[in-house]
Structure 1
Amino acid sequence: MDGKVVVITGASGALGSVVAQTAFSHGARIACIDHAASQSPPTAGRIELGGIDLTDAAQANKAIDAATAHFGRLDALINIAGGFAFEAVADGDAKTWQRMYALNVLTALNASQAALPHLAASPAGRIVNIGAMGALQAGPGMGPYAASKAGVHRLTEALAAEWKGKVTVNAVLPSTIDTPANRASMPQADFGKWVTPEELANVILFLASDAASAVTGALLPVSGRV
């Protein structure tokens, strides 16, 4: 990743922060986009663009353009921004489905549409999305989330087909990620079987690297030790 310019959405979250730090430690120049307010001043190799609502296409375009202008190019977009909700279908609320679609699909769509012209100008443009193993077969309470992540899978495949030869587009499909929030919500689980953010970050950054030049349209399971 040395010298690559990478935009990471959802960069202040449990996974996003690890991906950002790992990319930076491997020599990438990174732009961290998040809904949360920015806390750090820009440096030569890192900028933070806070207060960005990626469900709004205009804000997504503004943020991506600002990142590209700052570094002079864009090589990879990693779409981590998203959300989770657990709700049964029968007694659930349609607003939950709309919120999951907005947070998981629209954020990736808007950021990708904004980034594609810049990525196509790179000799190795990359998009990496975050899907979910749980979207392959939804269990109880997983309907809204799984449906939205299935949308991310189809978005990945469509973009990969449309931009083949110009930009690679792939998605990782993690099982449960070992985060403080997941530990708190499932205290009886065997955390040792979960995927760590560091493990997932390594797979994401492989797909964003030159080494993955022949991989596009892949939905790559990252299932830990389940």
Structure 2
Amino acid sequence: METSTSSPSTAPVAVVTGAARGIGLAVTNWFLAQGHRVALLDIDNATLAAAEAGLANDAHVLALNCDVSDPDQVQAAIDKVVARFGRIDALVNNAGVAAFKPIGEHTFKDWRTVMATNLDGAFLCSQACVPVMLKTGGGAIVNIASISGLRASTLRAAYGTSKAALIHLTKQQAAELGTVGIRANAVAPGPVETEMAKLVHTPAIRADYHDAIPLGRYGTMEEIAAVTGFLCSPAASYVNGQVIAVDGGFEASGVGIPTLRKDAAQA
């Protein structure tokens, strides 16, 4: 992996979608700390501008307003990345939206909005970046899925389905693109301390998660970024087609954790 001493002209390039905040911004910071140049794609132009200003690294940062569900906008953004940096080594498909409603209250518009960003966006960005990666010998794709793509949960019919489909898209990418030097893997975060979680997770929901997660806490954005960065790095050069749940053990667990904690406390 290139270190922070790499010059802007030779440093590897990462494209991160949904990069203006949350996990996407944490991933961006991980790449910058490793000496990468980073293209930040986000639909929220005001937040994107604020993130760019906060990073204060004009030589290594390119911020591009982009709706990842729009093929023309995606291709235009990637063309700008190539014009500025000349290559792409890693793509992190992080842009995502959610609709938290009972199944019967999901409208078709809700469904299509979620699918268009979470699934179509990853497909379109990958299609645009892969030919660029091939020109320099390959690269890595990491799709940010969700624990909701591995196990069902309430109020997440569209979101969970989109993330499950994204996991399968990852495996398709790994099978086909691995033959030409591009690895594809997925990260499935459990509950993470993001601004979205703070808005939609009530104290009762937080307690439910605490009861179901062996580590007994939410993850941090930096923990998700560290795993994502690893999967993009040469250290993961033989990791392809995998789904890494970064969830404190949530997906692996069944019932009984609260009782186990109680028994341990009384021992």
| TM-score range for the pair, normalised by the shorter chain length | over 0.9
Name which of 173, 183, 194 aligns with 1:168: 183
Q: What's 1:97 paired with?
A: 111
How far residue 8 of structure 1 moved from its aligned partner, in angstroms, is: 0.6
- What is the 5 A alignment of 1:1-226? 1-2=1-2, 3-37=11-45, 38-39=48-49, 40=52, 43-50=58-65, 52-165=66-179, 166-188=181-203, 189=206, 193-224=217-248, 226=250
Q: Tell me, in whole angstroms, the C-alpha distance in 1 between the residues paired with 2:42 and 2:198.
A: 23
How far residue 124 of structure 1 moved from its aligned partner, in angstroms, is: 4.4
The percent identity for this pair of structures is 35
Does the 8 A contact of 2:149 with 2:165 survive in 1? no
TM-score by length of 1: 0.93
2:73 aligns to what SS in structure 1? helix
Mean Cα displacement is larger for which, 85-94 or 124-133? 85-94
Does the 8 A contact of 1:195 with 1:225 survive in 2? no
* Count, aligned residues: 225
- List per-residue Cα deviations over 1:198-220 (Å, max 9, x = no partner): 00000000001111111111111
How far residue 137 of structure 1 moved from its aligned partner, in angstroms, is: 2.1
How far residue 36 of structure 1 moved from its aligned partner, in angstroms, is: 1.8
Structure index of larger Rg: 2
Q: Tell me, in whole angstroms, the C-alpha distance in 2 between the residues paired with 1:73 and 1:124.
A: 10
Q: Tell me, in whole angstroms, the C-alpha distance in 2 between the residues paired with 1:122 and 1:197.
A: 30
User: Gapped runs of 5+ residues in structure 2?
Assistant: 3-10, 211-215, 251-267
How far residue 91 of structure 1 moved from its aligned partner, in angstroms, is: 3.2
Q: Tell me, in whole angstroms, the C-alpha distance in 1 between the residues paired with 2:31 and 2:107.
A: 38
Does the 8 A contact of 1:124 with 1:210 survive in 2? no
**Which residue identity is paired with 2:101?**
E
TM superposition outliers: structure 1 runs of 4+ over 4 Å = none
User: Gapped runs of 5+ residues in structure 1?
Assistant: none
Q: Tell me, in whole angstroms, the C-alpha distance in 2 between the residues paired with 1:89 and 1:76.
A: 36
Q: Tell me, in whole angstroms, the C-alpha distance in 2 between the residues paired with 1:73 and 1:46.
A: 14
TM-score by length of 2: 0.80
| Cα-Cα RMSD | 1.7
1:78 aligns to what SS in structure 2? strand
- List per-residue Cα deviations over 1:26-54 (Å, max 9, x = no partner): 1111111111225247721111112x111
Q: Tell me, in whole angstroms, the C-alpha distance in 1 between the residues paired with 2:14 and 2:94.
A: 12
Does the 8 A contact of 2:140 with 2:182 survive in 1? yes
2:248 aligns to what SS in structure 1? coil
Q: Tell me, in whole angstroms, the C-alpha distance in 2 between the residues paired with 1:79 and 1:91.
A: 28
Mean Cα displacement is larger for which, 79-88 or 40-49? 40-49
Q: Tell me, in whole angstroms, the C-alpha distance in 1 between the residues paired with 2:38 and 2:226.
A: 16
Does the 8 A contact of 1:68 with 1:74 survive in 2? yes
Q: Tell me, in whole angstroms, the C-alpha distance in 1 between the residues paired with 2:100 and 2:108.
A: 13
